[in-house]
């Protein structure tokens, strides 16, 4: 294929900038003229009125008003960064409305010349995992946080990776996948960037090349990863709809054990922290992952108070282990979701944290023989939640209504109270009886269900 020199390419060459990608690519702006009617229609959609917390006030419109110039189809990391404003380090401040269609697979590890970078390519010259393991083994180092040259080299390596795989999103943006679109090995960072819509994308394996050893996390210490699939921080009015979140062919079960603990290269799917608020997550499919959704990352009573308001509806939580979600401070509405849970590693579904106000209504839980209804709640320092209309189908038995709170309180002390202290009003459409939820959510939740 012959490279066509567009005006923009000529200017880029004159300025000494590398043209995007090694191989010739179609012009992303011109591509948007060839989108189907339905893709154009869905790209311009805004959050429906009253559809969860993100509908509060002016609602969430994303990049629905983008001009043709800021409407792009992207196929590579370089094109995605260009469509978001052109400079990954500064794109969070680009407030111009942007409508971005993802075509095919965009890989966060795609290097400047189009080849795929490895973890070794991103590592600081002074970092080596075997040296790190030798230095900070508890038998040698003790049970205190790693410090010194090797830890400093790990932190520099993380900074290298962050520049590469963390894609910074600005305000007034819609990112929507065309059929089969995948974002692999990257984090969408929505930080100080309000009014953002993310739809119809499959997020795969946002892995951390340089997990941190935290010897005082839990009884035996833990390896912790830095990278979520989507992080929402210091932002409001964010709608995350009809996406799929997986670890792909790099599941936690395939990771090695170091210091007797799993080497955790994954963090959250959709974490809402650092005073973020007014988020609606609808019709998503979370599958085969560990930590899903952390709402609030600190117990400190401070600026998170009155924030962290999130609505979760019609999501499928399938073979996932914890934080479905875990909540601090926020008023969080969890209704009409389907949970399919089991396996030996399952931990809990709804985490009731400090000053949290969870309102869980008409959710359906399909459990295997290893999970009891009393296991579905976990007290992370909260006092109460409102829970009603739950149904459970356990170990292939008949579906039945279950009072989750009563089951929890019968098995645990102290008891949790039954009133979260608020009643959701921002809901679009009727709240379905729980037995209908699996019938709808199974076929309709996740990427590649919208007629893009």
- Indicate which residues carry an active-site annotation: 323
Residues 342-401 interacting with Ca ion (rule: CB under 5 A): none
φ and ψ of 415, to 5 deg: -70, 155
- Which residue in the set 409, 417, 444, 448 belongs to the binding site for Ca ion (CB under 5 A)? 409
Minimum CB distance to Ca ion, residue 214 (Å) = 13
Site for Ca ion in 413-442 (CB under 5 A): 413, 415
User: Tokens 């790693």 — which residue?
Assistant: 146
**What is the nearest approach in angstroms of Ca ion to the Cβ of residue 292?**
10
51 neighbors 310 (Cβ within 8 angstroms): no
CB atoms within 10 A of CB 287: 17
Phi-psi region of 268 (alpha: psi -120 to 50; beta: other; left: phi over 0): beta
Q: Which stretch binds Ca ion (CB under 5 A): 41-49, 175-183, 266-274, 388-396?
A: 266-274
How far is residue 442's CA from residue 426's CA, in Å, rounded to a whole number?
Answer: 24
Distance between CA atoms of residues 122 and 108, nearest Å: 12
Task: Tokens 């000494």: give the residue.
Answer: 16
Provide the minimum distance between the beta carbon of 304 and Ca ion in the complex, in angstroms, as a whole number: 15
Question: Peptide bond preceding 443: is omega within 30 degrees of 0, i.e. cis?
Answer: no
**Which of 51, 56, 205, 228 is the binder for Ca ion (CB under 5 A)?**
228
Applying CB under 5 A, among 28, 97, 268, 438 the residue interacting with Ca ion is 268
Beta-bridge partners for 244: 202, 285
- For 418, the 3-state DSSP assignment is coil
- DSSP element (H, E) containing 10: helix 7-14
* Residue keyed to tokens 């023989």: 369
Q: Which is nearer to Ca ion, 45 or 250 (CB)?
A: 250
Measured distance CA(82)–CA(131) in Å, rounded: 38
What character string, x for contact with Ca ion (CB under 5 A) and - otherwise, covers 271-310?
A: x---------------------------------------
Only one of the segments 76-84, 228-236, 356-364, 392-400 lies at the binding site for Ca ion (rule: CB under 5 A); that segment is 228-236
Could you tell me the smallest distance in angstroms from the CB atom of residue 233 to Ca ion?
9
Q: Please report whether residue 208 would count as binding Ca ion according to CB under 5 A.
A: no
The residue sitting closest to Ca ion, measured at its beta carbon, is 271
Q: Is residue 49 at the binding interface for Ca ion, with CB under 5 A as the rule?
A: no
Q: What Rg value do the Cα atoms of the chain yield, rounded?
A: 22
CB of 201 to Ca ion, least distance (A): 18
> Of 412 and 427, which CB lies nearer to Ca ion in the complex structure?
412
Binding of residue 318 to Ca ion (CB under 5 A):
no
Q: DSSP secondary-structure letter at 53?
A: G
Q: How many residues bind Ca ion (CB under 5 A)?
A: 7
Q: Which residues bind Ca ion (CB under 5 A)?
A: 228, 267-268, 271, 409, 413, 415
């Amino acid at each position: 294929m012959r490279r066509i020199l567009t005006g923009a390419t000529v200017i880029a060459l004159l300025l000494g900038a590398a043209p995007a990608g090694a191989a010739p690519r179609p012009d992303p702006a011109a591509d948007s003229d060839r989108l189907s009617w339905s893709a154009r229609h869905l790209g311009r959609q805004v959050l429906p009125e009253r559809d969860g917390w993100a509908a509060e006030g002016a609602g969430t419109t994303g990049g629905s008003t983008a001009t043709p110039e800021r409407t792009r189809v992207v196929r590579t990391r370089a094109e995605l960064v260009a469509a978001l404003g052109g400079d990954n380090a500064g794109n969070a401040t680009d407030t111009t409305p942007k409508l971005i269609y993802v075509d095919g697979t965009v890989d966060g590890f795609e290097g400047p010349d189009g080849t795929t970078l490895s973890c070794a390519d991103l590592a600081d010259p002074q970092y080596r995992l075997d040296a790190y393991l030798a230095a900070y083994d508890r038998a040698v180092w003790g049970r205190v946080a790693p410090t010194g040259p090797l830890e400093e080299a790990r932190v520099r390596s993380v900074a290298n990776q962050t520049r590469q795989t963390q894609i910074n999103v600005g305000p007034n943006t819609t990112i929507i996948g065309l059929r089969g679109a995948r974002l692999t090995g990257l984090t969408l960072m929505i930080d100080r960037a309000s009014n953002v819509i993310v739809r119809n994308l499959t997020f795969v394996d946002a892995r951390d090349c340089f997990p941190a050893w935290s010897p005082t996390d839990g009884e035996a210490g833990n390896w912790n990863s830095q990278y979520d699939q989507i992080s929402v921080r210091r932002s409001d009015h964010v709608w995350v709809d009809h996406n799929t979140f997986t670890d792909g062919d790099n599941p936690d079960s395939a990771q090695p054990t170091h210091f007797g603990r799993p080497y955790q290269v994954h963090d959250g799917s959709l974490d809402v922290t650092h005073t973020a608020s007014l988020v609606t997550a609808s019709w998503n499919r979370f599958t085969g992952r560990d930590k899903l959704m952390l709402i609030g990352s600190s117990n400190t009573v401070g600026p998170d108070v009155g924030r962290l308001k999130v609505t979760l509806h019609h999501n499928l939580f399938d073979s996932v282990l914890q934080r479905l979600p875990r909540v601090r401070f926020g008023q969080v509405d969890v209704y009409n979701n389907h949970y399919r849970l089991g396996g030996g590693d399952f931990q809990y579904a709804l985490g009731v944290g400090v000053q949290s106000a969870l309102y869980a209504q008409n959710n359906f839980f399909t459990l295997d023989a290893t999970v009891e209804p009393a296991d579905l709640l976990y007290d992370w320092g909260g006092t109460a939640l409102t829970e009603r209309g739950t149904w459970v189908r356990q170990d292939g038995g008949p579906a039945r209504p279950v009072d989750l709170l009563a089951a929890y309180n019968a098995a645990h002390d102290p008891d949790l109270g039954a009133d979260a202290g608020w009643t959701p009003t921002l809901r679009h459409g009727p709240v379905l009886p729980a037995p209908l939820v699996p019938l709808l959510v199974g076929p309709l939740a996740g990427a590649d269900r919208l007629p893009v």
